[in-house]
Amino acid sequence: MVMIKQAEGQKKSWTTRLDAKKKRIESVKGLVEGILIPTEHIVDAMEKLIRPGDRVVMEGNNQKQASFLSEALAQINPKKVHDLHMIMSSISRPEHLDLFEKGIAKKVDFAYAGPQSLRMAQMLEDGKLTMGEIHTYIELYGRLFIDLIPSVALVAADKADRNGNLYTGPNTEETPTLVEAAAFRDGIVIAQVNELLDELPRVDVPGSWIDFIVVADQPYELEPLFTRDPRHITDIQVLQAMTVIRGIYEKHQVQSLNHGIGYNTAAIELLLPTYGESLGLKGKICKHWALNPHPTLIPAIESGWVESVHCFGGEVGMEKYVAARRDVFFTGRDGSLRSNRTLCQMAGQYAVDLFIGSTLQLDHDGNSSTVTRGRLTGYGGAPNMGHNPGGRRHSTPAWLNMMTSEDPLAYGKKLVVQVVETFQAGNKPVFVESLDAIDVKKDSGLAIAPVMIYGDDVTHVVTEEGIAYLYKTDSMEKRREALSAVAGVTSVGLKHDSAKTAELRREGLIALPEDLQIRRTDAKRSLLAAKSVEEIVEWSEGLYEPPSKFKSW
């Protein structure tokens, strides 16, 4: 083999990214004090550190937002910095989309856009932004290390020291992942902090990963997204919760799980110490959780149901309670929660027996989506946790209970449960013939329809009518019959032949509350372990400090 060496004058450089980073850092020497960017100079510094066409990852999931940095980025001169490719877990704040209106940014890859979903859809239709892809959280994080490597990372932390070490407190969330993707490919990392200290309670991100810190003019925005006031839980949701506990958790011996956001899952949490206790299920189900620190889980924790909780992020007002319950939560030496959105998403994907959530639309095959006409909502983490991961190899009673084959190579399946009322607010049916997501695909020019959870992953559907045990069906026809049987008076439900109900019940493909020894008249709010936020505070011995908007006393 003949080796041809490049001429000395043509020698290839292998440090182009590092060299470019050094130039950027050199360009702000007159503005910064070591690694500290003065608060009032953040816009000037950004205009020098960020270049046109850069990939910029902006921290902002569905709770914690790098709000000071996002507001500053929206103030830069689009003649100096433009055509940015933004990578954001959540498009949650008005300035996130202002970037595109002003021409500062051009393209976006994201996971969730709940609060901005209407505006997002309109801007896409008007051609004011270019869509990359809608991702799940894990998918987006993974691509940061493959083909969406950021040039700049803008993140948020509670505190920093003058060496750049970061303390994130209860809300570590996705910060280490975003920082690592940029820091180890010679990107620029800027962290906004609430406070600069000489000594930190603990180090969550080392200073050697951070290029610049800036003290924000106000604390980063944090949304109490996972707090549900028990006052709003209805009798129907209590009935559904009883049905889930008896017909799924007890039946399949579910020991590890993730609950989605919603009053229906909050009702389950609040029924464990009462209805669950009456069934003698403590110590048998619901022991290990991948979950934000839901206040509605407090009564179950206090009454000994919960052994461990690993969290995606924190929850406003739960800090003192978590610190006082170290045996349950993952905490540091300082007592504060150590959350981690990336690792908890992975745990929710592979390590738990069950995911249970809700949706806005569900078709006759069990496909579901929260994307409806005129709304480009995205997915968040539901598809990560709401599917059967093919790589799982460890067995649990619940996972093995999903086996329906005698094949010697048969294996189990994760339980994926959708809990919905047949009609949502405004008398809109949840069960539909065709998902709006199909029309959104056409209108938005997406390559695939934005389905949140595919029907072939769904094992159970629960409504006020009963449970459809989809994992037991052996044909698409039977699957549709089971779904129709619990779809009420929606167009999907009206296709059901009521004469087949008894047959489906005998075959175990559906179960009505009566089949589970649940009397509908017993499904009352009086069963809830706490009927108000005030009662949750009492359960916590005063450690839970709810945000003012949840106080009614």
- Percentages (nearest 5) of helix, strand, coil residues in the chain: 35, 20, 45
Mean pLDDT of 374-403: 92
Q: Determine the pLDDT at residue 7.
A: 55
pLDDT digits (tens, 9 = 90+) for 221-243: 888 889 999 999 999 999 999 99
* pLDDT one-digit tens code per residue, 14-47: 999 999 999 999 999 999 999 999 999 999 999 9
Is a pLDDT exceeding 70 seen at residue 127? yes
Lowest mean pLDDT among 17-21, 374-378, 492-496: 374-378
Q: Does an H or E element contain 281, and which? A: none
pTM: 0.94
Q: Is 113 helix (H, G, I), strand (E, B) or coil?
A: coil
What CATH architecture applies to the domain 27-222?
3-Layer(aba) Sandwich (3.40)
Tell me the mean pLDDT in the region 136-158.
Answer: 97
Q: What is the spatial distance between Cα 414 and Cα 458, in angstroms, rounded to a whole number?
A: 9
| Same fold for the pair 27-222 and 230-536 | yes
pLDDT value at position 6?
56
Assign 4 a pLDDT band (cuts: 50, 70, 90): low
Phi, psi of 171 (to 5 degrees): -115, 50
Domain ranges of the chain: 27-222, 230-536
Tokens at 277, concatenated = 């206790």
Give strand pairing partners of 195: 159
**Cβ count within 10 A of residue 180:** 18
What is the third-level CATH fold of 230-536? Glutaconate Coenzyme A-transferase (3.40.1080)
HEC states along 423-484? EEHHHEECEECCCHHHHHHHHHCCCCCCCCECHHHCCEEECCCCEEEHHHCCCHHHHHHHHH
Question: Would you give the DSSP letter of residue 5?
Answer: P
pLDDT digits (tens, 9 = 90+) for 495-550: 998 889 999 999 999 999 999 999 999 999 999 999 999 999 999 999 999 998 88
Could you tell me where the beta strands, DSSP code E, fall in 280-407?
A: 288-290, 308-310, 354-357, 361-363, 368-369
More confident: 439 or 466: 466
CB 553 within 8 A of CB 312: no
Q: What's the one-letter identity of residue 61? A: N
pLDDT of residue 224: 87
